[in-house]
A and B are shown apart, each in its own frame.
Chain A
């Protein structure tokens, strides 16, 4: 999986900035995508491309349980979020709904990846290649159940 990075050098990117409260009434996924990251980055919708990745700091997706958050990002084209850590509901929504991959990275990887870098993610080798900088980083492997749900294509396709 290859893509370009949109990096937000900050912690606690919450669901209210990922998709603000007034849009919670919307359940048309493509319409939600138009408002993704609106509370933090007004230009997100115009700059995001299919296959891009977001890189961010600690506690990504904290706040509400709104599944609108991973949905808005996924339907904007985001395939994975690489963050130092994730809030629990965002994490399980992303995985169980098969919207995008929440990938935990360490501090040095976070510092090494720059905005607009091209990276390649290999979830079998648990490796992230920075094609722009010719560097390779380790990603934290998914836990057993999470890996199985991702492989199945979401919770509804997973057979316990």
Chain B
């Protein structure tokens, strides 16, 4: 069995599983945020009206909560949702609630690894599609809707069809101007936005072993954009080092068997990869950054679970140091811990000296909800994950997706720019 099949087998009490088997698996960790939390509460209310008694969760110690989509509160409705969420965690005794304005908080997927909320070998479900992100730590991580999360909160288990696995092998170390974002955009361009639908995307090879945990997280994060159920990377020394720093040393790692089966193996040479940009209106609509060098921009956005981890900010700082931005540029670190580190290491000063605005962690602009949405016809280059019509604002605005290096280089020139071409 491969790592995904082994994790699901262990969690469902089976000795062996194959793709297409349907099983109820025991869940180790559950996450809700300020959109899916109130969604789950609405499901609970509906169930209560039908006569169900809901007095406690299956195990509130396995549940954690983030405030990320509508913080800072946009209006009275979103402010009320935060109150609802706080009442919910209080009522059910959930202690892990990362609250906006009270120390560490941030985007749920970023907290999942920054705070070591999820560990190798675990089954983790979250009320958000980018839950896949956390698979980079060697866990089975998948996004679910409100009804499914409500079911998990009450029963501790949920059904999954065992996915086929597509294996993406990276040979060699990425060149300096290429990031994991370029690699995953290239893959999505190759297989399409439903190229991994219902499947798992596993990444391996010496190029992945070379890659830092944060870069690996960019890969698994965007498996969602290929339609994947989950993304996963086998844990190694880098994984355990990353988790040890965060106080997590006890877990039960799972690795693929030597004879593990994969539906298909794709191989990529790191040295052949180029800076890639996904054009509107789909992550699969890719081009080389150099081929878009005449595309004029209104805004550069550095934010989200995909592109505002510490190393993403470091990449941006490498470019912005000593330079000025030519277009509206926003940097929103994905968690307070990252914001703090960026401040202590002088990155925030570099961003501000370059003329960029630095803001608090939020999903706001990435999903077009608030904190910097796009006007009609505005063009944005962004380190985020989606560029559907209206995703970041007006339905006739345009978003190009790119790596932090490309976004920063483009901020400096005002046009889409390969970092190698920056003077």
Contact = CB atoms under 8 A, between A and B. Distances in A.
The number of chain B residues touching the other chain, given as a range, is: 35 or more
Contacts of B288: none
B19 interface: no
Given A87-B194, A143-B22, A156-B47, A59 B227 contact: yes
A39 B145 contact: no
B313 interface: no
30 contacts: A14-B388, A16-B367, A16-B388, A16-B391, A17-B390, A20-B368, A21-B390, A22-B369, A24-B35, A24-B369, A25-B78, A27-B38, A27-B42, A29-B42, A39-B390, A39-B395, A40-B389, A65-B129, A66-B35, A66-B39, A67-B145, A87-B197, A88-B198, A89-B145, A92-B144, A96-B145, A97-B147, A155-B147, A156-B151, A160-B24
B70 interface: yes
Contact of A144 (B22, B70, B150): B22
A97 B127 CA distance: 14
B143 interface: yes
Contact of A25 (B35, B127, B194, B282): B35
A33 B332 CA distance: 32
Nearest to B78: A25
Interface string B330-351: 0000000000000000000000
B147 A67 contact: yes
B371 to A, nearest CB: 11
B74 A25 contact: yes
Nearest to B146: A67
B239 interface: no
B77 A65 contact: no
Given A64-B367, A155-B148, 11 more contacts: A16-B389, A17-B388, A20-B395, A25-B69, A25-B75, A59-B193, A59-B194, A65-B127, A87-B194, A97-B43, A143-B22
A24 B159 contact: no
Contacts of A114: none
Interface in A1-34: 12, 14, 16-17, 20-22, 24-27, 29
Contacts of A12: 193-194, 282
A88 B200 CA distance: 12
A85 B391 contact: no
A17 to B, nearest CB: 6
Interface string B371-391: 000000000000000101111
A145 B162 CA distance: 13
A62 B197 CA distance: 9
